[in-house]
Chain A
Amino acid sequence: MKRLILAVLAFTLIMSTAAYAQNLTAKEIIEKADQKQRGETSVGELKMTIIRPTWKREMQMKSWSKGSEYMLILVTGPARDKGTAFLKRENEIWNWQPTIDRTIKLPPSMMMQSWMGSDFTNDDLVRESSIVVDYTHQLLGTETIEGRKCYKIELTPRENAPVVWGKVLSWIDTEEFMQMKAEFYDEDGYLVNTMYGKSIKKMDDRLLPSILEVVPADEEGHKTIVEYLDLNFNQPINESFFSVQNMKRVR
């Protein structure tokens, strides 16, 4: 469960990274997206579905974030986990367990945990804020994804950067600067998983894929889907909102 939540952290950051960029060089696109993401807030409601060949599970949650430093997540379903909340403030994470009336501090290593077997690792994703600093960026050209013209950008980690990927390929819509697709490769150059942005909708003031699908490369029938049911940007949220007492109070 905790791993799922941390994965949401990662997804949200990926999305907002791709949200706004203006133009031209690969680095500028990424940098502008990154700058835009900082200091912004988001309030959302989402559903995550894990699909395996023989089963699937759903989870619903609400999330509040400010930049990449602050985030609060409230689990709203399934019944067993309802009311559980997570708070992230810089490198500290707390977990509220309503059944036992207790706030539990989680070790930072929980952030580095992989989740869902081999689908994804949180490590580099949660450190998405380093996407400008830790990678070099190269514009490879444009390609059409789902009928939309996209910049194809290759991100190569810098030496000694705290990144697990060998490289990342990202397709960003040339008009709306939405990330339509991303491929994550390991250090030996093998594709690990692919993320697709789907079902483009106007959410709050901007057009974004409302569904993100992560498909691992070598696992037949495995998939994780994150669907944004509601997403609002740039509502003023005070930093003090991200507090231990608010984990109990948000609804």
Chain B
Amino acid sequence: MSGPMTRQTEGNPDAREVVLAARNVAKSYGNVHALKGVNFDIHRGQVTTLFGENGAGKSTLMKILSGVIQPTTGQIILDGQPVSFANANEARDRGISIIHQELSLAPNLSVRDNIFMGRELRGPMGVDFAEEERQVRTLMEELEEEIDPLTPVEELRLGQQQIVEIARALSVDSRILIMDEPTSALSASEVEVLFKVIRDLTAKGVSIVYISHHLEEALTITDHAVVLRDGTMTAYAPRADIDLEWIVRNMVGENYDLGSPPDSDKGQVALSIRSLSVPDQTGQDLVHNLSLDVRAGEIVCIYGLMGAGRTELLETCAGRLKPTGGEIVLEGQEISHLPIAERIARGLALVPEDRQRDGLVQTMSVGQNLSLASIRNFTRGLFTSSRAERKLVDDSIRSVTVKTSGGSAPIGSLSGGNQQKVVIGKMLATNPRVIMLDEPSRGIDIGAKAEVFRLLAEGARQGLAVIYSTSEVSECLSIAHRIIVMHKGRISAEFDSTVSKEKIMAASGESVAA
């Protein structure tokens, strides 16, 4: 299972000097405990990889180490001395820099200006643009990327933007470099170059902290593995002692059960997607000529990596995006020309991926969020009936088991999992025939995840057609009757629920060897 080690380290990796350490670091956002007392070490000149599912707390920990956010409790120890960083600039001055998962570039500025943003080189005549440009060219040569320093970042494709982000972190000569999913938009050859750069850096004594969802890829580069689950560190070991199975076991947990496919009666085809194509702004297909039938009572899982086109497929069905071709047929009726409200009324509901951005209205209460999609159901004549609304809200809170003090509580007072249940409850309140959930488990803890899946299985038993997308293999092999793997806008494979995790990952193009 585990690939060959790609580089030999002198002696026992653990014996190397610890440059940065976290001691009992915890972080809470109101009721949400993102980190619950984590300890771990970063060794000089080595790669430490953090493994963990979405919402395990990896990004939070990295933001604490790089000074972007401050821990609620606990200590950061740099070179044996306790330190606290007020902001990312202070951490950068001490030699710690971070490449964020979300790109933090100014799209309107050139590559050069982005790389030197906030620390422009001063010359006698203001900013020394020539020197900046020269340094950027050197960096790009190192990264084997042909990007002109004067190109505006918005004209680059996503992978190149990620390279610029990496170049920016490299340009500050940091001793500790944190990379949060640096390869998610890179091609295989770009990943190879990045790994070569990482090896050069570690040879120079730079310590790397690496986060990736591509487990095998990460295993080829790392010296240490740290596994986080649910805000706590569950395992820590040097590379030589572990393999892929060890990581998955520790990431997912022993008694981690998301349920099994419900034995529901499969009815008629509820949603039929016929040769659907969806373009991006430049006209390239994000979803290409894709066809898929989902029957009533059936649960279909769509698995794919970032950029596989899952979100675009679901948002097109919901009516947010316009397709260039193809048909969307809901219970025998073509709906691709209808507005969103009409699709919801006919029984097609979407629970979007990003609940903060697309799912919730933060200024409204729990109850108002729950009833938002079904206002017509409690409107009598001109006015809404507050009694009918209260009933709908109370029923929803009960049926999706939202833990809240009541419908009038502010939505921000709920934990991530309960907020997600509110978004799901909102769409279930419209009495849909087909419900689509885009990464329903994103950023919620395992308990809430299991409850969400139980809810979906229950819906399927009552004849609801369920489609959910995920980037976690373990979530494919749970309640889904059928697993569709998407890769670059197409269906690359289709499995039943007995397939192995390895087959699913292989079909998604995930195990690209570096």
Q: Do A and B come from one complex?
A: no
The interface of chain A, by Cβ under 8 A from chain B, is none
Taking beta carbons and an 8 Å cutoff, which residues of B are in contact with A? none
